[in-house]
Amino acid sequence: MELGECVVLVTGGAHGIGRALCRRIQQEHPGGIVIADRDLSAARSVAEESGGLAIECDVSQEVDVQNAVQQTINRYGRLDAVLSNAGVTAKGGVETPDADWNRLWQVNVMAHVYLARAALPHLLEREAGAFVVTASAAGLLTEIGSAAYSVTKHASVAFAEWLSVHYRNQGLKVSCLCPAGVATDFLDLEDPIHQFLHVSSVTPEHVAECVIEALRKETFLVLPHAEVEEFFQFKTQHYDRWLHNFAHVNTRLQKRRSRQTTPHATGETP
């Protein structure tokens, strides 16, 4: 799919990957860009750059998502592509409070469902629409530092797969973006696990380029890091060995984390 003349809606477009996507899409001369984000003033700055429309939208609220789609139609009269990109994280394992599990479920999963409900009638109208879910490598592998992020990103991959299977023969192109570390404010550089991700992180501009290429080639998985594809293949072929290897990485990173939080602790070099 080429985005020239298309009307594109990007959630979480005010910062990071979403902002890079908006800037890159602008180079394709679209018919319109809508930046839907809970941070309206930053969304407005991106809209000014790209000549688009900024909409205040909390994607965890279905009414806000419906409003964003309706405002898109009111302004441009059509909707051709949706980049459902907003996402949040929370550190922790099983002790993570239910409130955080629920927040991640709403933003990382239900927001895609709300957007699909509102946008599909428009995307299917011309039998040529596109729906891109920003998941994460955590949705194919795991995120050692966050149980809730890993689980909800797996669910977002599952939802993207389901959409692809269900609507492919009606002309909908579904892609699922699964990056590992990307150099945005999302990474907490005080945290050893995010530091580990940052070592091999890519720029949001590189991610945006990969998304444009995937839309052009109509590929489902968008993998800006070559190693994610390798790890994913290894996981599907040697599941137990993959778990063993990740457990080893987990042990090293947890040791590093406890050394950082306990100044006098000593231990094995990770």
Ligand X SMILES: NC(=O)c1ccc[n+]([C@@H]2O[C@H](COP(=O)([O-])OP(=O)(O)OC[C@H]3O[C@@H](n4cnc5c(N)ncnc54)[C@H](O)[C@@H]3O)[C@@H](O)[C@H]2O)c1
Active site residues: 136, 149, 153
CB nearer to ligand X: give 66 or 171.
66
Task: Give the footprint of ligand X on residues 7-26 (CB under 6 A).
Answer: 11-12, 14-18
CB nearer to ligand X: give 80 or 150.
150
Please check whether residue 38 is in contact with residue 222, taking contact to mean a CB–CB distance below 8 angstroms.
no
According to the binding rule CB under 6 A, does residue 30 interact with ligand X?
Answer: no
Which of 23, 31, 39, 91 is in the footprint of ligand X by CB under 6 A? 39
CB nearer to ligand X: give 14 or 132.
14
According to the binding rule CB under 6 A, does residue 192 interact with ligand X?
Answer: no
User: Least distance (Å) from ligand X to the CB of residue 96?
Assistant: 16
According to the binding rule CB under 6 A, does residue 54 interact with ligand X?
Answer: no
- Helix then strand then coil, in percent of the chain rounded to 5, is 55, 15, 35
Taking the CA atoms of 234, 151, 244 and 263 in sequence, report the sign of the dihedral they define.
Answer: positive
Task: Give the footprint of ligand X on residues 91-120 (CB under 6 A).
Answer: 107
Q: Could you write out the DSSP letters of every residue in 14-48?
A: TSHHHHHHHHHHHTT--SEEEEEES-HHHHHHHHH
Paired strand residues for 7: 32
According to the binding rule CB under 6 A, does residue 87 interact with ligand X?
Answer: yes
Q: How far apart are CA 111 and CA 44, in angstroms?
A: 21
- CA distance between the termini of the chain: 45
Binding site for ligand X (CB under 6 A): 11-12, 14-18, 37-39, 57-60, 85-88, 107, 134, 136, 179, 181-182, 184-187
